[in-house]
Amino acid sequence: MAEIQELRCVVAGCRFGADEVDYTCPNHGELGTLDILYDYDALRRRLDRDAISASSVSNCWRYKRLLPLAPDAAVPPLAVGWTPLYETPRIARELGLRRVWLKDDGLNPTGSLKDRASALVLARALERGIKTVSAASTGNAAAALAGLGASLPAIDIVIFVPADAPPAKIAQLLVYGAEVLLVEGSYDEAFDLCMETCAAQGWYSRNTGVNPFTTEGKKTAALEIAEQLNWRAPDAVAVSVGDGSIISGLYKGFYDLRQLGWIDAMPRLIGIQAAGSAVLANAFSNGLAAQDIRPGPASTIADSIASALPRDRAKALRAVRRSGGCFLTVADAEIQAAIPELAQLSGVFAEPAAAAAYAGLKAAVRAGEIEPGENVCILSTGNGLKDVDRARKSTTGGIRVAADIRAVERALKGAGLI
């Protein structure tokens, strides 16, 4: 296992022992999210990346020795991670890039990357004998916790979700049997209610940007990208950003690999925000520190990345700045158009927040943030079936025909197909 050396506050470097703090830095509150750091010299001596590559484990637990869990720790039985990394030459040609890969995390058990974080948090809960785990979410993190929690009969799951979240996402929670509280308010209000309730009831919070084990779960996406590219990082990774926890997890994964000497360089992280929910992009453009960020609008069709005050803002800004990347924004119209465009160029059906990464990559190329000779990875964070209504609105067409072969032939001729 990767034994925890310390928990370190991202704001001021305050240091704590592995079991000294559950969530954020006691000295810096909600802003002071924590890094889980290891003895990398010891890991270098003990671990062999070729042994990992030879592993027959085809899920995120192939990296268990790089995670803060005991070797024999119980984990959820569902197969999370080791999602495919597709090369997409049509996208590369469309954007004038050398090579483009698409990491399809919509193929996780509940349809999103958030399964990675929930898997690790639940494994941690099992280690500690915790009986109830809770989260607030606009849908994906909640579904991940509910679904993986359903595979663990010893743990109860309680979810706080905005009542106006997409119906398909709420349906997932109910199908999995979680206790669901539909909050008549925003995601940020649901988040605060969840944290208050966890404190009052002694429950364990899985919440993004609060529980440092979520970052460790999400970092496995970066570990996979590197391994799937024969232990080379791409020049850049484009990913959509809401609360900032996924881009933080990517940074942590690539950082760990760099400390081990398993990759030669860190990729630039390109964070994509919806124009209507762009607190981090605005902070980046204006050179603000995380502590100077104030809540902003959170209005976008991409509900998964709507956040008035990103909880992992300190880690997210650090990830982009230290990697030499950038934040960009895309309008809702660009996000909606990206859903069918990405699907038709790659075969991957992405929900709005995931499609935003492709729309943002196009913007990055236009802005000169990505050079033509570079190799780029797009991280698709959620399956399009999460929000079928939005996908339906992104397309037009379909030819209605009579049940007659002559009508079919006329229609096909009109479409230029015969």
Per-residue pLDDT of the chain (418 residues; tens, 9 = 90+): 678 999 999 999 999 998 899 999 999 999 999 999 999 999 999 999 999 999 999 999 999 999 999 989 999 999 999 999 999 999 999 999 999 999 999 999 999 999 999 999 999 999 999 999 999 987 789 899 999 999 999 999 999 999 988 888 888 899 999 999 999 998 889 999 999 999 999 999 999 889 999 999 999 999 999 999 999 999 999 999 999 999 999 999 999 999 999 999 999 999 999 999 999 999 999 999 999 999 999 999 999 999 999 999 999 999 999 999 999 999 999 999 999 999 999 999 999 999 999 999 999 999 999 999 999 999 999 999 988 888 888 888 888 999 999 999 999 999 899 9
Q: What is the pLDDT of residue 1?
A: 64
Q: Is residue 243 part of a domain?
A: yes
Provide the CB-side half-sphere exposure for 121 (13 A, CA).
35
In this structure, what DSSP letter does residue 296 have? -
Q: Is residue 150 part of a domain?
A: no
Q: Is residue 232 part of a domain?
A: yes
Q: Is residue 346 part of a domain?
A: yes
Q: What is the pLDDT of residue 290?
A: 96
Name the β-bridge partners of 239: 271
Q: Tell me the residue range of the domain where 381 lies.
A: 85-109+215-393
Q: Is residue 207 part of a domain?
A: no
Q: Is residue 28 part of a domain?
A: no
Does this model's pTM top 0.75? My answer is yes
Q: How many CB atoms lie within 10 A of CB 389?
A: 10
Q: What is the pLDDT of residue 137?
A: 86
Q: What is the pLDDT of residue 413?
A: 95
**Which CATH number fits the domain that encloses residue 371?**
3.40.50.1100
Tell me the H-state helices in 289-394: 313-323, 332-346, 352-366, 388-393
Count: domains in the chain: 1
Q: Is residue 121 part of a domain?
A: no
In the three-class reduction of DSSP (H, G, I as helix; E, B as strand; rest coil), residue 355 is classed as helix
Q: What is the pLDDT of residue 306?
A: 92
User: 357: which residues sit within 8 A by CB, 6+ positions away?
Assistant: 238, 239, 240, 272, 350, 378, 379, 380, 381
Interatomic CA distance for residues 169 and 337, integer angstroms: 22
Which strands sit side by side in the sheet containing 179-183, from one edge to the other?
A: 179-183, 156-162, 132-136, 204-205
Q: Is residue 374 part of a domain?
A: yes
